[in-house]
Amino acid sequence: MKRLFVPGRLCLFGEHSDWAGAYRDVSPDQPPGYCLVMGTDQGIHAVAEPRADAFEITSKLGRGPAAEAHLPADPAALGEAARKGGFFAYAAGAAFEMMERYPVAGLALETRTDLPVGKGLSSSAAICVLVARAYSQVYDLGLTEREEIEVAFAGERRTGSECGRMDQICAYGQRPTFLRFSGEDLEVEVLQPQGSLHLLVVDLCAAKDTVRILRELNACFPDTPGAVAAGVREALGPLNEALLRRAREAVATGAAAALGDLMREAQELFDRQVSPACDELRAPRLREVLRHPAVRECAHGGKGVGSQGDGCAQFVVRDADAREELSARLERDLGVACLPLTIRPLTD
């Protein structure tokens, strides 16, 4: 029996530039993509055991009833389950990839999570990484984090998702990482912050259509004509790179005020040049939270999370006390749910 934990993934900056940078394989003029991400304090806990001929998964989300799936440990059945969609499609896709690539059989997984689902915190990528890691540990494969990422990415894409490679960086745990995407190439730099940064992640308790967002933004690439498409490519390319260089420095030095200013700048850029390409990105709930008076009083700045839309918001707050105050006021006034997150120096 193996006990596992995989956190969610918070994209601090650079959303969508991972898959945008992948277009360099067919369009060399497209600049590389850059992201700054880290694992959340929340995630998926699991217990894993081998099975001879079945892929079994039980999932407990919050206080609700457990969901279960029982599938044959057969690539054809797992691939079909991934294509059909549903709650366990991502897990089935990752299991398919493991069975195709490595000498493994079945698996039994019992999971529980405190990670909000469908909110831009990569719950789908986390379960894919978890399945890859569970197979690796149960069958003594010794997969590296990069190998887990490759399996998880391929498994999620098998469901029809047009995700990029940024989401699966949750395999690196809760360390902040700076990423560069160029075609199929991925460069990972694990940062070593010099000071603590207090963040607040806000579950907007609304809904968004990530599949639609990805589909309509991908439609702007690689060389779609028109001002809107050109604006998306510029925002996710050279303008994103310039902003990410500054954000990397702010995280590395623990410069909270500078990081908050950059979040505001990044949101303004996204609203100006990316949101017009997809109505789903109008995100009225996100706008309401970003405009709340408590944000000005308690936070240096904030922005949307992940693919954006009405999933989650994130804020760089002034200190731990300010985070508690902002959390209490947003939950009281707007009915949202708040999750603390702290970036800590290695010496803490």
Could you read off the pLDDT tens digit of each residue along the chain, which spans 348 residues?
899 999 888 889 999 999 999 999 999 889 999 999 988 878 899 999 999 999 999 987 766 677 899 999 999 999 999 999 888 999 999 999 999 999 999 999 999 988 777 666 778 889 999 999 999 999 999 999 999 999 999 999 999 887 777 888 888 888 899 999 999 898 999 998 988 999 999 999 998 898 899 999 999 999 999 999 999 999 999 999 999 999 999 999 999 999 999 999 999 999 999 999 999 999 999 999 999 999 999 999 999 998 899 999 999 999 999 999 999 999 999 999 998 988 888 654
Residue pair 7/126 in contact (Cβ under 8 Å)? The answer is yes
By residue count, the chain amounts to 348
Q: Does domain 2-190 have CATH number 3.90.1150.10?
A: no
Pairwise CA distance, residues 61 & 87, whole Å: 12
Cα(110)–Cα(3) distance, rounded to whole angstroms?
A: 10
Tokens of 325: 């105050």
Domain boundaries, the chain: 2-190, 197-343
Residue 125, SS3?
A: helix
Helical (H) or strand (E) element with 308: none
Please report the pLDDT score of residue 63 as a whole number.
64
In degrees, rounded to 5, the angle at the alpha carbon of residue 71 between the alpha carbons of residues 68 and 77 is 140
Alpha-carbon torsion, ordered 231, 282, 327, 43, to 10 deg? -70
Helix H or strand E segment including 110? strand 106-113
Q: State the Cα–Cα distance between residues 241 and 305, nearest whole angstrom.
A: 18
First to last CA, the chain: 32
Q: Could you count the other beta carbons within 10 Å of the beta carbon of residue 63?
A: 5
Burial 314-323 (b: 16+ CB within 10 A, else e): bbbbbeeebb
Give the per-residue pLDDT at 173. Answer: 85
Asked, colleague to colleague, whether 2-190 and 197-343 share their fold, the answer is no
Q: Cite the DSSP H helix spans in 164-220.
A: 210-218
Total-model pTM: 0.80
Dump the DSSP string for 223-290: S--SHHHHHHHHHHTHHHHHHHHHHHHHHHHT-HHHHHHHHHHHHHHHHHHTGGG-GGGG-HHHHHHH
Read off the tokens for 201. 């992640």
Give the per-residue pLDDT at 60: 78
Task: Give helix 256-273 / helix 227-236 axis angle, nearest 10°.
Answer: 160
CA distances from 245 to 78, 251, 252, 305 (A): 41, 10, 11, 19
What's the confidence (pLDDT) of residue 348? 44
**CATH number given to 197-343:** 3.30.70.890
